[in-house]
Amino acid sequence: MDNVVKKIVKVLIAEDSPIIARVLSTLLLSDPQIQVAGIARNGKEAVEMAALLRPDIITMDIHMPIMDGYEATKQIMAHTPTPILIASAAVQADGIDRMFRAVSYGALDLIDISGLASGDKELGTKFLDSIKLLSRIKVVHHMLAKMEGRLTDDPFAASEALLPRGSDQILAIAASTGGPMAILSILKMLPQDFPCGIVIVQHITSGFLEQFAVWLKGECRLKVEIAQQGQAIRPGTVYLAPCDLQMRVGEGGVLRLSDEPLYDGHKPSGTILLESVARVYREKAVAVILTGMGKDGAKGMREVKARGGRTIAQDEASCIVFGMPKEAIDLGAIDHVYPLNEIAQAIVEQINRGA
């Protein structure tokens, strides 16, 4: 008989709509492992209740009176760091921008909850799973402040020169939870004349990918696009795998998209992308696996290494979740492990060595 007592997860709901707050509360209380610690009607209350109640996790709406969810996230992460899931039922362009800015200040993930009121069971299950998983993550004060100096520096302006554009190499990245900020921190430090294309699988809630691309484009010097079928991979351009499609690279450096089943629970799958990169680019591939739950990408990294490519993993200390990098390391698939702020420099060194 299993006598293990499972920890009760205390959730603070920050939501100004009484209807949505009631929907969230009812759903959360349907799980015996979850307790609703309180409901904040605006960002100011959320900040105060986070300090008073010390919840295990906060569901944070973005559009709220007095203080919005973006500002509340900044305040909470500065003073009483708590796992935060950005959960909004009104996802508009301006709201999504503020959602990603909240991620910049330490929110762990974001989810569109507009389907919960209509009884979307799949979304409800995903929401509850996210609450329980994210509540276990240890967060720290001033996550963005710790990285701002790293993000604003241009480490290559006075250091190792890059190869001319048109390199026959490729950079592939796989990430999940915590990935948006990690990806940005790397891309922001890569120069505009980066000599090869960059293909990325980032697990992200459907509906947020387009704004994620816009956010990256506005924050770094590279071109950022959502991948399209048959698109040629060009130097200095970032290609994000579309939601609900698998992405591969094909012979001749073109992108191949397909509507096929999930692989290891993911679509797009980091492993599927990385295995295709290994087959096509072999020793000309540089692959990076970043923060994220689960094991997606680990087998793909192993294939890249087996075919002569170079592999890099984010270290445990700088990961929001060490799941994906740890799986790849445990498989013997990784050549180098670096803290996040050193990965961009390592990529440039590997690209130059692979010429």
Known catalytic residues are: 176, 203, 296
Tokens of 161: 């020169």
Cβ contacts of 342 within 8 Å, gap of 6 or more: none
Cα(80)–Cα(87) distance, rounded to whole angstroms?
19
Between the alpha carbon of residue 347 and those of residues 7, 44, 169, 310, 333, the distances in Å are 41, 42, 12, 9, 16
User: Residue 244: how many CB atoms within 10 A of its CB?
Assistant: 11
- Which residues lie below 8 Å from residue 352, measured CB to CB, with a gap of 6+? 160, 162, 163
| Chain centre to alpha carbon of residue 5 | 31
Which pair of tokens denotes residue 315? 């270290």
Q: In sequence order, which ranges of the chain are alpha helices (DSSP H)?
A: 18-29, 43-53, 69-79, 93-104, 121-134, 143-152, 179-187, 209-219, 270-281, 298-306, 323-330, 340-353
- Segments in 116-187 forming alpha helices (H): 121-134, 143-152, 179-187
Helices 298-306 + 323-330 axis angle, to 10? 40
- The DSSP output letter for 116 is T
